[in-house]
């Protein structure tokens, strides 16, 4: 396992991080399975574990907490807030009121007295940067978080948050967590240049493109029911973007074979090859998934392999741009663009 500095924090984190979204109801991963996955990951040298309050409505945090019991000091522990955690209008978002309340709930679920990295899961257009950063700065001063970051922010919002921190003399986001894979390269055009400019650590999620690059999704092969049941539109062949992805996967599989790599190794090696990326977050549902992904820990792609990938999906291109989760709210809600 290799390690890189998390932005300008001085903290060393593994180039593969363990994501816990599949722990619990979402991935149907049991506590025993989760504990085994965490143990194997830590033994392999992974030291960053990423979860969120919204993953199975807190169940993931609870399972992570039990899994790291006795090994807390070995873990750089990250979680997130912002997504809805109930029906109430204030049980979500990035206000001081909610972040203070929800961090306490996350600490209880995790069974810890602090988290190392607290992330805002999505940009909240209803809350000012000053409000959010002020709350996070106070939580850090109280010793309940060590650092804080953003997740899936558009590039211009990353910049504005940095400016707000400077203008109001507040702590700044130290990290960003964007989606990134061979099939979704849009952050290369805008987000990564910005994070590099401001020295942010970058923890990329979905480096296997929700399973498209796992080797399990191939032309002429039936797609596993857990994938089609969770987000069936992501694998529906009637969707043009999915046909483009399938064509790309078949070409990438040939590149991987020619390089003596699995498709997983190719995908994870690609994600960590970019100089602006700190770690790639893997999200195994089973011990077998973890083993296949750990095989990429030492993968270093050669220039000719990277060039071949560029020929399949050009730099800065998203094959499914509608899945970026950073569309401006005014494009989604007519009330925000009409008088």
User: Per residue in 37-76, pLDDT tens?
Assistant: 999 999 999 999 999 999 999 999 999 999 999 999 999 9
Catalytic residue among 55, 147, 153, 198: 55
Count of structural domains, the chain = 1
Residue 140 counted as domain residue: yes
Question: What's the CATH code of the domain at 291?
Answer: 3.20.20.100
Task: Say if 261 falls within a structural domain.
Answer: no
In a domain, 100, yes or no: yes
Is 105 a member of any domain?
Answer: yes
176-220: pLDDT as tens digits: 999 999 999 999 999 999 999 999 999 999 999 999 999 988 887
Sequence-distant contacts of 86-93: CB under 8 A, at least 24 apart: 93/124, 93/126, 93/127
State which residues form the domain around 25.
Answer: 3-210+268-301
Give the tens place of pLDDT for each residue, 131-155.
999 999 999 999 999 999 999 999 9
Residue 38 lies in a domain: yes
Least confident of 225-229, 273-277, 330-334: 225-229
The confidence band for 228, taking pLDDT boundaries of 50, 70 and 90, is: very low
* pTM, rounded to two decimals: 0.94
Whether the predicted pLDDT of 331 surpasses 90: no
pLDDT at 3 exceeding the cut of 80: yes
Q: Which of 189, 271, 277 is nearest to 7 (CA)?
A: 277
Write out the chain in H/E/C secondary structure.
Answer: CCEEECCCCCCEEECEEEECCCEECCCCECHHHHHHHHHHHHHCCCCEEECCCCHHHHHHHHHHHHHCCCCHHHCEEEEEECCCCCCCCCCCCCCHHHHHHHHHHHHHHHCCCCEEEEEECCCCCCCCHHHHHHHHHHHHHCCCEEEEEEECCCHHHHHHHHHHHHHCCCCCCCEEECECCCCECHHHCCHHHHHHHHCCEEEEECCCHHHCCCCCCCCCCCCCHHHHHHCHHHCCCCCHHHHHHHHHHHHHHHHHHHCCCCHHHHHHHHHHHCCCCCEEEECCCCHHHHHHHHCCCCCCCCHHHHHHHHHHCCCCCECCHHHCCCCCHHHHCHHHCCC
Model pLDDT, residue 225? 44
Residue 323: pLDDT above 90?
no
Task: Please check whether residue 308 lies inside any domain of the structure.
Answer: no
Mean pLDDT calculated for residue range 243-248: 95
Q: Name the β-bridge partners of 119.
A: 80, 149
> What mean pLDDT do residues 107-122 have?
98
Residue 55 known to be catalytic: yes
- Report residue 18's pLDDT band, with 50, 70 and 90 as the boundaries: very high
303-312 vs 240-258: helix axis angle to the nearest 10?
160
The verdict on residue 320 lying in a domain is no
Average pLDDT, the chain: 94
Confidence class for position 335, pLDDT limits 50, 70, 90: confident
Task: With respect to residue 158, please indicate whether it lies within any of the assigned structural domains.
Answer: yes
């Amino acid at each position: 396992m290799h390690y890189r500095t998390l932005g300008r924090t001085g903290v060393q984190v593994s180039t593969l991080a363990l994501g816990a979204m599949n722990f619990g109801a979402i991935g149907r991963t049991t506590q025993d399975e989760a504990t085994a996955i965490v143990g194997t990951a830590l033994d392999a040298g992974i030291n960053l574990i990423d979860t969120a309050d919204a993953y199975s409505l807190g169940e993931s945090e609870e399972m992570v907490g039990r899994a790291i019991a006795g090994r807390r000091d070995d873990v750089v522990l990250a979680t997130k807030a912002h997504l809805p955690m109930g029906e109430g209008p204030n049980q979500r978002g990035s206000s001081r009121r909610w972040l203070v309340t929800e961090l306490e709930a996350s600490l209880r679920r995790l069974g810890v007295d602090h988290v190392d990295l607290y992330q805002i899961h999505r940009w909240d257009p209803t809350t000012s940067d000053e409000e959010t950063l002020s709350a996070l700065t106070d939580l850090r001063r109280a010793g309940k978080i060590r650092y804080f970051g953003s997740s899936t922010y558009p590039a211009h919002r990353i910049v504005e948050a940095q400016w707000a921190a400077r203008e109001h003399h507040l702590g700044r986001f130290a990290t960003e967590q964007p989606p990134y894979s061979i099939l979704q390269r849009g952050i290369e055009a805008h987000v990564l240049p910005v994070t590099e400019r401001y020295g942010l650590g970058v923890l990329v999620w979905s480096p296997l493109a929700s399973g498209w690059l796992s080797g399990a999704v191939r032309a002429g092969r039936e797609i596993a029911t857990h994938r089609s049941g969770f987000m069936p539109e992501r694998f529906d062949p009637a969707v043009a973007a999915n046909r483009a992805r399938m064509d790309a996967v078949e070409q990438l599989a040939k590149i991987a074979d020619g390089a003596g790599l699995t498709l997983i190794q190719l995908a994870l090696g690609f994600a960590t090859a970019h100089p602006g990326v700190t770690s790639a977050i893997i999200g195994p549902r089973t011990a077998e998934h973890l083993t296949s992904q750990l095989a990429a820990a030492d993968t270093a792609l050669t220039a000719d392999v990277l060039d071949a990938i560029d020929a399949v999906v050009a730099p800065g291109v998203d094959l499914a741009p509608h899945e970026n989760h950073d569309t401006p709210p005014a494009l989604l809600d007519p009330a925000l663009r009409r008088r």
